[in-house]
Amino acid sequence: MKKVSKFGGSSLASAKQFKKVGDIIRADKSRRYVVPSAPGKRNDKDEKVTDMLYACYDAASEGRSYKKILEKIRGRYEEIIEGLDLNLNLDHEFAKLEENFLAGAGRDYAASRGEYLNGIVIANYLGYEFIDAAEVIFFDEQGNFEADLTDKELSERLSHVERAVVPGFYGSRPDGSIKTFSRGGSDVTGSIVAKAVHADLYENWTDVSGFLVADPRIVEDPEVIETITYRELRELSYMGASVLHEDAIFPVRKEGIPINIRNTNRPEDKGTLIVETTCRKPRHTITGVAGKKGFCAINIEKAMMNTEVGFGRKVLSVFEKSGISFEHMPSGIDTMTIFVHQSEFEDHEQSVIAGIHRAVEPDVVELESDLALIAVVGRGMRSNRGTAGRVFSALAHARVNVKMIDQGSSEWNIIIGVKNDDFEKAIRAIYDIFVLADL
């Protein structure tokens, strides 16, 4: 069995955290490939190494004083090395880093050094081979990720290596210059490595025990989601849930490799398993509930609009011309409502209203602002009757007025529109009726 284990910045912020990581890896011989992030914050007042590297590079490239920042960065690594009692000296690496900073190697190069140096440290600590990501992860001249070339080179390289550390977050262009991933960071690298070695599991170790059913800032101590499908994950992430970026999911999803979100500080917790599909029955009818504030609704009324061929296209073309994307579009026989981001719409509202009048000659156009959208998501909703009824019963009991409901034919999710002021109350009501009431 082969596992790829990616560790986030909080998991590698200090020697103490490194030791936890070492214990986790040594506890399972199948954890053969490790992808580290740069050291994160040790406490709330601390700085991430990546942020310090940016500051140091900016100062050096602009001719300002940078030595103190550089020494502070060096100190972070030396503290880890000493705490792990390693026979490792990074003087040569820091001399090269300083030289490249002064030569203007670029902010991507600067940002990548946190993962690069941490990779050297953890490889030394574990006794694994260190492989510079710049040698196996490639971008084209325009900075676009070269998936096929990377997969071919990385697969070949790792096929000859039993255990290796590949730093996350970066790769190289054809000219050898460093390029970082714009989104997803080290999570993307972990996924790419997992695909290349045909891993049985991609573990993503962080400081939480998996994804939560609801936002902990709204619901006190929400349950952890045990198993979630990629489809459910996409629905929840689209509505604002803090989850892995899609770029970090695609390589393993394509290969059918499951992802396990785990907690470095609580390795006994099973975390959340992300899979393509599963016959496992979910613990609750819903998998999760998430949402976002800051929407407005454009309500269009016109008698017999349903008989006008192209009515919807004409309306949407008005939004397209203004560069505004729509979120949802519930409709009736004589009504159509377009939900859009309020911040995007406000600067164009009068031209959009005028455009709608010219395009379809409506009877009435009304605007409603300060709305929130909530997604109730779960594969269990298809096999449980009365899910929508339970949602509206909970909202009515909480005295929340529903502005909109939209449910697709898949029956995997229900989208509900409420006022911004009712957003948190609505989330708590839905969580209570589907999770707490089931306990």
Whole-angstrom distance, CA of residue 108 vs CA of residue 134: 12
With contact defined as beta carbons under 8 Å apart, do 343 and 379 qualify?
no
CA distances from 360 to 20, 188, 243, 315, 387 (A): 64, 46, 40, 7, 37
Query: Which regions of the chain are under pLDDT 70?
Result: 183-184, 242-243, 408-410, 438-439
Walk me through the domains of the chain, giving residue ranges and CATH numbers. 3-207 (3.40.1160.10), 288-438 (3.30.2130.10)
Q: What is the pLDDT of residue 183?
A: 67
The total of other beta-carbon atoms located within 10 Å of residue 226's CB is 15
Whole-angstrom distance, CA of residue 371 vs CA of residue 293: 6
pTM: 0.86
Mean pLDDT (the chain) is: 93
Q: What is the pLDDT of residue 293?
A: 94
Q: How many CA atoms lie within 13 A of 182 on its CB side?
A: 5
With contact defined as beta carbons under 8 Å apart, do 101 and 156 qualify?
no
Secondary structure string (H, E, C) spanning the chain: CCEEEEECHHHHCCHHHHHHHHHHHHCCCCEEEEEECCCCCCCCCCCCHHHHHHHHHHHHHCCCCCHHHHHHHHHHHHHHHHHCCCCCCCHHHHHHHHHHHHCCCCHHHHHHHHHHHHHHHHHHHHCCEECCHHHCCEECCCCCECHHHHHHHHHHHHCCCCCEECCCCEEECCCCCEEECCCCCHHHHHHHHHHHCCCCEEEEEECCCCCECCCCCCCCCCCECCEEEHHHHHHHHHCCCCCCCHHHHHHHHHHCCCEEEEECCCCCCCCEEEECCCCCCCCCCCCEEEEEEEEEEEEEECCCHHHCCCHHHHHHHHHHHCCCCEEECCECCCEEEEEEEHHHHHHHHHHHHHHHHHHHCCCEEEEEEEEEEEEEECHHHCCCCCHHHHHHHHHHHCCCCCCEEEECCCCCEEEEEEEHHHHHHHHHHHHHHHCHHHC
Task: Extract the tokens encoding 35.
Answer: 């992808």
Q: What is the pLDDT of residue 409?
A: 66
> Position of tokens 């009365």?
386
Q: What is the pLDDT of residue 36?
A: 97
